[in-house]
Chains A and B, each alone.
Chain A
Amino acid sequence: EPEVTQTPSHQVTQMGQEVILRCVPISNHLYFYWYRQILGQKVEFLVSFYNNEISEKSEIFDDQFSVERPDGSNFTLKIRSTKLEDSAMYFCASSEDRGEQYFGPGTRLTVT
């Protein structure tokens, strides 16, 4: 069964460093999303992406965040200058037709 994959599974970085989280959405899906989940809290929307551009973003998704689809299979989230409060699980999701969203296993980001 097709699934969303994410790498790395765990990323440790120092405050102020740049990180890139990578996702491979399900192959025939056209809509891509990033969400995050701070430990013990609910899942929060960051950004959605369609047709090579951002279609919606939340107030969390400020100028330090960016997304890119560098090729036909990868979807990346870049955090330019990480802060302690960026520590969270980051989930990529994809959808075929803006219906069901399927989530990847997540990347645990730890900022020290």
Chain B
Amino acid sequence: AQSVAQPEDQVNVAEGNPLTVKCTYSVSGNPYLFWYVQYPNRGLQFLLKYITGDNLVKGSYGFEAEFNKSQTSFHLKKPSALVSDSALYFCAVRDPLGTGFQKLVFGTGTRLLVSP
């Protein structure tokens, strides 16, 4: 069964500095990978996805993520953090060939705190 790990409960970064939020995954085949962001009292907002092709994918609000098959990672990055980026970030994986019929599995989330 597919799974996702987000090793950091919280990431702290100063505004203007680059940020990285880590994610590793486990699937039996080639994964579909996603990042979502959640603001307080809101649902999850889709940021970006990796399906196939270029390992560096760009998404909303200046975020990007790098797919690394050998390290089974899909870390979220942004070159210059904003205070408004402070939120809860979730990595998710889908195994398109798995028996779970493309079940979408989420990690436990990483809280990003950007200080002024």
Are these two chains actual partners, yes or no?
Answer: no
Residues of B within 8 A of A (CB): none
